[in-house]
Structure 1
Amino acid sequence: MTQALCLGIEGSANKIGVGIVREDGEILANPRHTYITPPGQGFLPRETAVHHQEHVVSLVQQALKEAKVAPKNISCIAYTKGPGMGGPLVAGAIAARMLAQLWKVPIIAVNHCVGHIEMGRIVTGARDPVVLYVSGGNTQVIAYSEQRYRIFGETIDLAVGNCLDKFARVLNLSNDPSPGYNIEQLAKEGSQFIELPYVVKGMDVSFSGLLSFIEEKTKELLASKTATPADMCFSLQETIFAMLVEVTERAMAHCNTRDVLIVGGVGCNMRLQEMMQQMVEDRGGELYAIDERYCIDNGAMIAWPGLLAFKQGQFTPLEEATCTQRFRTDDVLVTWRD
């Protein structure tokens, strides 16, 4: 019997990705293209949407070629419903609706956050870990219970990736391949730790005050030559990652779980993985982490949960295949897990 295939389209931020996944979990293709702006600048919804429109068709063609399959072999189309930026989300959704009608297959709306979690689970083999989801637009500590991914803690303002991106603009760091990656590399050269606000509120974290503080402090210390950009990057990473490790450990204690899975674009950061590894080892558990192929937004992470839902008989009526910038992780009924 031929296995079902799902083509997934992800375009919630500055990356447009198309993935093809088989029902046994094999990722057959996963190309993507990133919209990169000049140093010191972020990416705006309209320009990002245009970028996605320009690249999505060629990425679909590339994915089909890499997977060695034809449109007639695709069982369903999955796309990112949200959360994310409005314009880019719509670009991906329109492409998905077009393909679903052309190829006469069902369409499945996928939650971006759940996509990251399920990608992490299938790639690492993690069974039931506490999940730290850290990306440009999201920061959440999550655990599964009764067919929902429950949010135990989250940012109350900025996402951790957004905090890093904004600080990279202060230092005028390149956006290629990403601001966070360039902060990570610069931080390795830092030796002086500058004390920064450490804001943990119960299970939640806050980064906006910390960001305002370090922006001013950086101008002051660089002007007086009492610290280097590397020192500031080092201090920022150590502080925010310590906050994330603390709330993750508290969720582990609450859930009586030893294992941790890190997902989302910031999850690629080796220093974050190193700090989390130390905490998890102290608790006798295991850390599950993935590299930039699957950590950073990609099409396969949308295709896989789309396929899981499809196998449960779920699909989205075409007239309901819309987008929303606010789509909570715990809004999703996870029918494919016990």
Structure 2
Amino acid sequence: MAKLSMGLEGSANKVGVGIVTERGDILANVRRTFISPPGQGFLPRETAKHHQKHIVPLIAEALKQASIGPEQLDCVCFTQGPGMGGPLCSVAVAARTVAQLWKKPLIPVNHCVAHIEMGRLVTGVSDPVVLYVSGGNTQVISFTQGRYRIFGETIDIAVGNCLDRLARLIHLSNDPSPGYQIEQMAKQGKQLIELPYIVKGMDVSFSGLLSFMEEQLDDWLTRCGYSEADLCFSLQETVFSMLVEVTERAMAHCGQKDVLVVGGVGCNERLQSMVQVMAQERGGQAFCTDERFCIDNGAMIAWTGLLQYLHGGSKDILETGCTQRYRTDAVPIPWRCCDDSQYFTNP
């Protein structure tokens, strides 16, 4: 019988539970999102309370959706970091509790690695350069010497945070997400505003660009005749161009033709199209997924945790503390030494 894993995710404003098999079949992938009022972000304490409210019902819902009982699980996995402290700890407590109640091994998972492995699973791509873009992380990654190595990253705020900040400035709705609202409004933009373009070697910077937009916002909207849609369009075009540039440079350095886009911002269709054009010009392909797998979810934790479990990655409960700063390149990846073909399915 195929081994089964349950994964609990709660590093930011989404709390999710997933159940997967060792063949990569996704039996359940349920989640809830904490949505703050327009013009506001989500605070750790409020987000933690949201996760505490929903995590137990989600566990029950996932088991029902997968049509299994707890006794059929082989391990329980959870996000150890990186992420927001309160939400991380809330979900970790739930994972520790059910693991002890059900007498199952407990597997702590790196959130960033889970995004990568989920992307590889659902797209079938074997060895791409990874563009990981989300609200809390922006990294260009390639696998070498047993780990996912970071070849470039943001030196200040993440690209998702940058987009979210503009959404708050112009009071866009946070439902389903501020980044989604930016994307939809950008489609109506007609004028490209010249914005600071800050690439430093393999790294990018967004805070200066954002400060510049904050300073000029009133003038642009009241005196220059630009619309809020123009602002969204211009921001997307600028920050995505920066990301495509450093991704292409990493591909040239690593000798790779394919790109995998993961993370919540990876749902953005404009970013996907820009990366696809760049990859095709290099004789490769861009591999992207939809909101089911780009956005934080429990299935990605279950899948990556199961890979760790199958390679001896279970931990004693005393070793499962959360860490808000958990580097992608701090995690050994022993399963990449195996034949990749056994891991890929198309859910």
3-state SS of paired residue (1:262) = strand
Q: Percent identity?
A: 66
How far off its partner does 1:218 sit?
2.0
Q: Indicate the residue corresponding to 1:82 in structure 2.
A: 81
1:241-280 map, 5 Å:
241-280=240-279
After superposing the two structures, state which structure 1 stretch, 218-227 or 97-106, moved more: 218-227
Distance 1:121 1:317 in 2: 28
Distance 2:230 2:193 in 1: 7
Q: Indicate the residue corresponding to 1:65 in structure 2.
A: 64
Q: Indicate the residue corresponding to 2:159 in structure 1.
A: 160
Encode CA deviations 1:72-122: one digit per residue, 9 max, x unaligned.
001000000000000000011000000100000000000000000000000
Q: Indicate the residue corresponding to 2:326 in structure 1.
A: 327
Distance 1:91 1:281 in 2: 43
Q: Indicate the residue corresponding to 1:298 in structure 2.
A: 297
Distance 1:233 1:142 in 2: 27
Distance 1:108 1:115 in 2: 12
Distance 2:216 2:269 in 1: 26
How far off its partner does 1:146 sit?
1.4
Question: Is there any run of 5+ residues in structure 2 with no aligned partner, and where?
Answer: 338-347
Encode CA deviations 1:181-217: one digit per residue, 9 max, x unaligned.
0000000000100000000000000000000011222
Distance 1:279 1:335 in 2: 31
Distance 2:238 2:106 in 1: 42
How far off its partner does 1:260 sit?
0.1
Encode CA deviations 1:150-180: one digit per residue, 9 max, x unaligned.
0000000000000011110111000000000
Q: Indicate the residue corresponding to 2:196 in structure 1.
A: 197
3-state SS of paired residue (1:336) = helix
How far off its partner does 1:298 sit?
0.2
Distance 1:65 1:325 in 2: 32
Q: Indicate the residue corresponding to 1:337 in structure 2.
A: 336
3-state SS of paired residue (1:141) = strand
Q: Indicate the residue corresponding to 1:169 in structure 2.
A: 168
Amino acid at match of 1:249: E
1:115-154 map, 5 Å:
115-154=114-153
Encode CA deviations 1:1-54: one digit per residue, 9 max, x unaligned.
x11100000000000000000000000000000000000000000110000000
Distance 1:288 1:276 in 2: 9
3-state SS of paired residue (1:175) = coil
Amino acid at match of 1:262: V
How far off its partner does 1:225 sit?
5.2
3-state SS of paired residue (2:335) = coil
Q: Indicate the residue corresponding to 1:215 in structure 2.
A: 214
Q: Indicate the residue corresponding to 1:284 in structure 2.
A: 283
Distance 2:215 2:179 in 1: 20
Q: Indicate the residue corresponding to 1:108 in structure 2.
A: 107
Question: Is there any run of 5+ residues in structure 1 with no aligned partner, and where?
Answer: none
Distance 2:309 2:232 in 1: 44
Amino acid at match of 2:172: L
Q: Indicate the residue corresponding to 2:40 in structure 1.
A: 41
Distance 2:313 2:324 in 1: 22
3-state SS of paired residue (1:98) = helix
Amino acid at match of 2:107: I
3-state SS of paired residue (2:77) = strand
Q: Indicate the residue corresponding to 1:309 in structure 2.
A: 308
How far off its partner does 1:224 sit?
1.5
Q: Indicate the residue corresponding to 2:341 in structure 1.
A: none
Q: Indicate the residue corresponding to 1:180 in structure 2.
A: 179
**Deviation above 2 Å: which 4+ runs of structure 1?**
none
Distance 2:119 2:22 in 1: 16
3-state SS of paired residue (1:294) = helix
How far off its partner does 1:253 sit?
0.1
Q: Indicate the residue corresponding to 2:343 in structure 1.
A: none
CA-atom RMSD, angstroms?
A: 0.6
After superposing the two structures, state which structure 1 stretch, 311-320 or 217-226, moved more: 217-226
3-state SS of paired residue (1:32) = strand
How far off its partner does 1:320 sit?
0.9
Equivalences, count: 337
Distance 2:217 2:123 in 1: 38
Amino acid at match of 1:137: G
3-state SS of paired residue (1:36) = coil
How far off its partner does 1:261 sit?
0.1
Amino acid at match of 2:219: E
Q: Indicate the residue corresponding to 2:238 in structure 1.
A: 239
3-state SS of paired residue (2:313) = coil
Q: Indicate the residue corresponding to 1:99 in structure 2.
A: 98
Q: TM-score under structure 2 normalisation?
A: 0.97
Distance 2:14 2:317 in 1: 24
Distance 1:39 1:323 in 2: 30
